[in-house]
Structure 1
Amino acid sequence: MNKLSFPLAILAIVLSIFTFFYLNTSSELVYVDVNKLMEGYERTKVVRADFETKAKTLNANVDSLMVDWQNELKLYEKERSSMSKKELELKQQILSNKQQQLNNYQQAIQKQIQEEDKKATQTVINDINDYVKEFGKDNGFKIIFGASGGGNIMYADDVSDLTEDILKGLNAEFRGKE
């Protein structure tokens, strides 16, 4: 029995040392600040500028139609005293229909703007996620947490923050694609 306990003790020590070093190197926890990545990523600025231009154009179309409708309404109010009852009813019906169409168009444009915003944001998020995934693989990280200020990471040592490293690489990759 004594002959068996010495090799078991040696095996236990070797296993303990292996486990200690393996767990210490493979369980390093790191994170990135998602908000900083979104704000610091150069493509975010480009995508936002494109989106804002598109949204302004769409809103300008709605504003132009609204001004036209308001001018038509003012003209109606000036001329209504000289109109017959039938003409008044017809003009009111036309103005009411135009207002309804304008409201429907405005709602459709707002929905389109929201969808464009969501699509643009998702494009940036996909870029960031893809880059972080590759960065993690290339640097041997098993997990990279994303902190967004919502309380999912309440404290982390600055050494664990990969945000700046990832942001530099992400922007360099984006500049290379332009």
Structure 2
Amino acid sequence: MKKLIIASITALSLTACTDKIGYVDNAKLINGYQEKIDIKAKLDVQVTNYQKKRDSISQALQAEVLAFNKQAESLPESTRKKRYNGLFQKREILLQKLTKEEQELKAETQKQLDSLITKMKKNIREYGKKKGYSLIIGANDSGNLLYGSESKDITNDVLEYLNQQYKNK
């Protein structure tokens, strides 16, 4: 009976040793992934265009307010109130439009990043299957991997695979 238990433990140990395990540095992986770099560049252009538009609108409205302030004292009170209310209303409408545009930009950014992460996970699974890995762990700053031997770090290989997959599509 003892020999059977020892043989079972030995067999389990040998089976466990044959599992191929690796880990990747999530931050290095995402920051080095060419598709993410391309998406970020595209989104940066959109953000810059939004900021220019917002600044331009803000400056135009500010110039309109300054011009109104110069004229305000010479206008009858009813006209002054009417123009002031018009400017205030215009400001509110512009702020709503800009806020909506900013929210749409944020939503688009999140959508693209979510899609990117989904694609990366799929490609990492493919990589793992092709290379015979039974487990690939993602290491990040939250400490889900406290230590891993450098020989188990497959970040560069996975990154090369991901970038090749992106390049081929």
Q: TM (normalized to structure 1)?
A: 0.85
Deviation at 1:170, TM superposition (A): 0.9
Q: Which runs of 5 or more structure 1 residues have no equivalent in the other structure?
A: none
Deviates more, 1:150-159 or 1:123-132: 123-132
* Distance across 1 between alignment mates of 2:168 and 2:126: 16
The superposition leaves residues 119-169 of structure 1 with CA deviations (integer Å, 9 ceiling, x where unpaired) of 222232122111111111222222211111221111110111110110111
Match of 2:157 among 139, 160, 165: 165
1:16–1:78 CA distance, 2 compared to 1 (3 A): closer
Q: Find the counterpart in structure 2 of residue 23 from structure 1.
A: 16
Deviation at 1:109, TM superposition (A): 2.3
Deviates more, 1:79-88 or 1:55-64: 55-64
Q: Find the counterpart in structure 2 of residue 126 from structure 1.
A: 118
Q: Find the counterpart in structure 1 of residue 33 from structure 2.
A: 41
Assess if the C-alpha contact under 8 Å between 1:51 and 1:120 holds in 2. no
1:137 maps onto 2:129 in alignment? yes
One-letter code aligned to 2:94: L
Q: Find the counterpart in structure 1 of residue 79 from structure 2.
A: 87
Q: Give the match's secondary structure for 1:32.
A: strand
Q: Could you tell me the percent identity over the aligned residues?
A: 24
Q: Superposed, which structure 2 residues align to 1:5-84 within 5 Å?
A: 9=3, 15-26=8-19, 28-84=20-76
Q: Which runs of 5 or more structure 2 residues have no equivalent in the other structure?
A: none
The superposition leaves residues 13-53 of structure 1 with CA deviations (integer Å, 9 ceiling, x where unpaired) of 76455333212102x43211110001111111110010011
Q: TM (normalized to structure 2)?
A: 0.89
* Distance across 1 between alignment mates of 2:133 and 2:151: 14
Kindly tell me the number of residue pairs found equivalent between the two proteins.
169
The superposition leaves residues 75-128 of structure 1 with CA deviations (integer Å, 9 ceiling, x where unpaired) of 101111221111101001001101111222232222122212212222321221
Match of 2:97 among 79, 99, 105: 105
